[in-house]
Amino acid sequence: MKKDVNKDRFFEIFWTFLKYTFVAGALALMIRGFLLIPVPVEGNSMETTLQQGDMVVVEKISEIKRFDVIVFQLSDGTTYIKRVIGLPGESVSYANDQLYINGKKVAEPFLEKNLEENDEPIPFTYDFTFEELMGVEKLGKDSYFVIGDNRRLSKDSRSFGAISEENILGKARFVYYPFAHMKFI
């Protein structure tokens, strides 16, 4: 009789372990698939914030704000990672390397403007007005204007236009690999 009790206890523990393992695996897959998505950084348009080969975690549940780093996909299937500069209903312009939102100066403390040492400094962000660049006065509802932190080498809203909220995959939150680059964004 004692052997049956031990056998029953073993199967009870085993079954409990199997259930917890299944639930934990299902939760991990749901979190990975819907909340925290790993994305590789390709290219150098976000240097010095992000480097080629960095792996970032993207989350999909929080509201997009100015200067968030987001991952989005264009209709051609290309995935980009850029910084949000303009929000829905706003007008964006640059003059003398200064960002203006709706005509008001806005600081960009995250930028490292590594000006080249020569007789004439090269602008980090070339001058433009929103109307001449986009053909409209303001961003539409659910539209965002994005630019890479490495302004001189970034393909961004200045070339492909505003992006729609429906194309945004999420906000880049954390660099987890390589370990030397590990940081919150």
Catalytic, 45? Answer yes
Tokens of 160: 């492909």
Spatial strand order of the sheet with 104-106 comes to: 92-95, 98-101, 104-106
Catalytic: which of 2, 45, 105, 183?
45
Task: Provide the 8-state DSSP code for 160.
Answer: H
Catalytic: which of 19, 60, 82, 105?
82
Tokens of 44: 């150098």
CA atoms within 13 A on the CB side of 107: 2
Handedness of CA 97, 101, 105, 109 (dihedral sign): negative
Distances (CA, A) of 1 to 4, 5, 6, 11: 5, 7, 9, 16
Residues with a known catalytic role: 45, 82
